[in-house]
Amino acid sequence: MLTPDNARDIAARIVEQAIKAGATAADAMVVADASSDVSVRLGELEDVSHSEGQEIGLRVFDGQRSASVASSDLSSETLQEMVRRAVAMAREAPEDPYAGLAPADLLLREMAPDLDQFDPAEPSPADLRARALSAEQASRAVRGVSNSNGASASASSSTVALVTSGGFAGAYRASGFGNSASVIAGDGAAMQRDHAFHSARHLADLENAEEIGRRAGERAAARVGPVKPEPGRYAILFDPRVAASLLGHFTAAITGSGIARKTSFLQDKLGQRVFAPGIIIRDDPLRVRGLRSRPFDGEGLPVRPMDLVSDGVLTTWLADSAAARQLGIQPTGHASRGVSGAPGAGPSNLSLQAGPRSREELLGTFPRAILVTELIGQGVNGVTGDYSRGAAGFLVSGGEIGPPVSEITIASTLQQMFATLEPGSDLHYRRGIDAPTVLVPEMTVASA
């Protein structure tokens, strides 16, 4: 696989060629990756896979016109053809008054920070198989588990390089290790399924396979025998497994492109209180070994930890350079991109910071509540803020978790949910987008 230096050199070469061919500006991204995965089911090997690939994307500008091309062939002949084609395409593209690279004076000029994202460990297929089997065996050993959907273990590594004609050149390497198990509990029409997984940048940080499997089994077994709650208004507790989805709706609503198009329910809320006092939502791209850490953004700008919400107040949009120009602001260092096409904007390691009360205290806040552990469907309107999703979880009475519930719908508006939610103290950084248990005091519950 390409080293960071190799990938950066290839990107720099094609950018130089594009400028020589008449482009007024250009940037290039090179991504190389390799992954191995082993899956098992019922104690038997089900699949072994290994893949390696590399890709380069070139974006060129002819004034305010731009075009992008990409290829998995990094030969000199192909790179030359990419340059020729991209420049020709850009000259025929429509003008965009907001198009362009990030401002040169804002680019990262110093050495990119080392975020300890790469572990050179390379587990063998036998090692991955053993880990997958351990997870499945532990899940099937849980009382009530009747079948398995399988378990898997994986290892991957990637190299990313970005070069712009504005003067930025950077590259880094990252690794990833994962383990998961999915099982079924109960029999016949009463069967329920659930799963557990964990992923980490370093193999040493990966959770024990037996613990992952045991958790999957216990989750599935606990869901057997669901009841139907009476329709009405309930306090809703979002388990950390699903609470992070609320952050996804929030960041989608503060993305610069949506704000510029006026398609967000938060478009007039910058500098205003959107959440309750004390609420902090933090984006931290520089977290060591973070699953979504990055030493620079998708346009070569420096990145830094930032509170997107501070004391309940919305402090910023997430804007790449094009959206920033449209909004009349500076880019925020949140540009994200794939190999081909223009950058968008999005968060890195995002978290709803912990509150003062424990999960147990939140569970006992209201006489009756529902603890949601699974959300189903996509019933969220980012323009109006309307929220309605299928859900499953558990009834809570007097602070005690009771019987499971399934096939229900929970509904409200994101405006109301954001303004009243309370985070618990049980925040753990596990997924890249993380939240503790979250209490929303009132939502409408109906049978799905």
User: How does DSSP assign 7-41, residue by residue?
Assistant: HHHHHHHHHHHHHHTT-SEEEEEEEEEEEEEEEEE
Average pLDDT of span 238-263: 97
pLDDT at 43: 97
pLDDT in tens, 73-96: 999 999 999 999 999 999 999 999
pLDDT for the residue 447: 87
Is residue 255 predicted with pLDDT exceeding 90?
Answer: yes
The model's confidence at residue 403, banded by pLDDT at 50, 70 and 90, is: very high
Name the pLDDT band for 200 (thresholds 50, 70, 90): very high
For residues 99-115, average pLDDT = 95
Q: What residues contact residue 255 under an 8 Å CB cut-off, 6+ apart? A: 264, 317, 318, 319, 323, 344, 345, 346
Compute the mean pLDDT over every residue in the chain, rounded to the nearest whole number.
97
DSSP 377-390: S--B-TTT-EEEEE
- Kindly list the structural domains of the chain, giving each domain's residue range(s) and its CATH number in brackets, ordered by start: 4-220 (3.30.2290.10), 226-448 (no CATH)
Average pLDDT over residues 374-378: 92
pLDDT of residue 189: 82
The model's pLDDT over 119-157, given as tens digits with 9 standing for 90+, comes to: 999 999 999 999 999 999 999 999 999 999 999 999 999
Amino acid at 89: M
| pTM of the predicted structure, to 2 decimals | 0.95
Which residue's structure tokens are 């190999």?
339
Q: What is the mean pLDDT of residues 359-385?
A: 96
Check: CB of residue 281 under 8 Å from CB of residue 347. no
Specify the pairing of strand 281-283 against strand 386-397.
unpaired
- In 338-442, alpha helices (H): 359-363, 414-420
Q: If residue 215 lies in a helix (H) or strand (E), which one and from where to where?
A: helix 209-222
Q: Is the pLDDT of residue 188 over 90?
A: no
Residues 224-243: what's their mean pLDDT? 96
Q: Is the pLDDT of residue 369 over 80?
A: yes
How far, in Å, CA of 417 to CA of 238, rounded?
A: 11
Q: In angstroms, what is the C-alpha Rg of the chain?
A: 24
Dihedrals φ, ψ of 441, to 5°? -60, -30
Does the pLDDT of residue 268 top 80, yes or no? yes
Structure tokens at 271: 């500098």
pLDDT of 448 higher than 80: no
Beta bridge partners, 335, equal: 345
Task: Return the closest-CA partner of residue 115 out of 382, 294, 371.
Answer: 294
**Could you read off the pLDDT of 314-356 as tens digits, one per residue?**
999 999 999 999 999 999 999 999 998 899 999 999 999 999 9
According to DSSP, residue 255 is labeled B
Q: For the chain, how many residues are written?
A: 448
pLDDT tens by residue, 36-49: 999 999 999 999 99
- Residue 190: the pLDDT is 86
Task: Give the percent of the chain with pLDDT over 90.
Answer: 98
Query: Of 196, 199, 157, 159, nearest to 177 (Cα)?
Result: 199
Of the candidates 326, 289, 300, the one whose C-alpha atom is nearest the C-alpha of residue 429 is: 289
Mean pLDDT, residues 185-193: 91
CA distance 74 to 52: 14
Binning the chain into helix, strand and coil, the percentages to the nearest 5 are 25, 35, 40
C-alpha to C-alpha distance for 413 and 141, rounded to whole angstroms:
41
CA angle 326, 331, 335 (to 5 degrees): 105
Return d(Cα 72, Cα 347) in angstroms, integer: 27
Q: Residue 40's pLDDT is what? A: 98
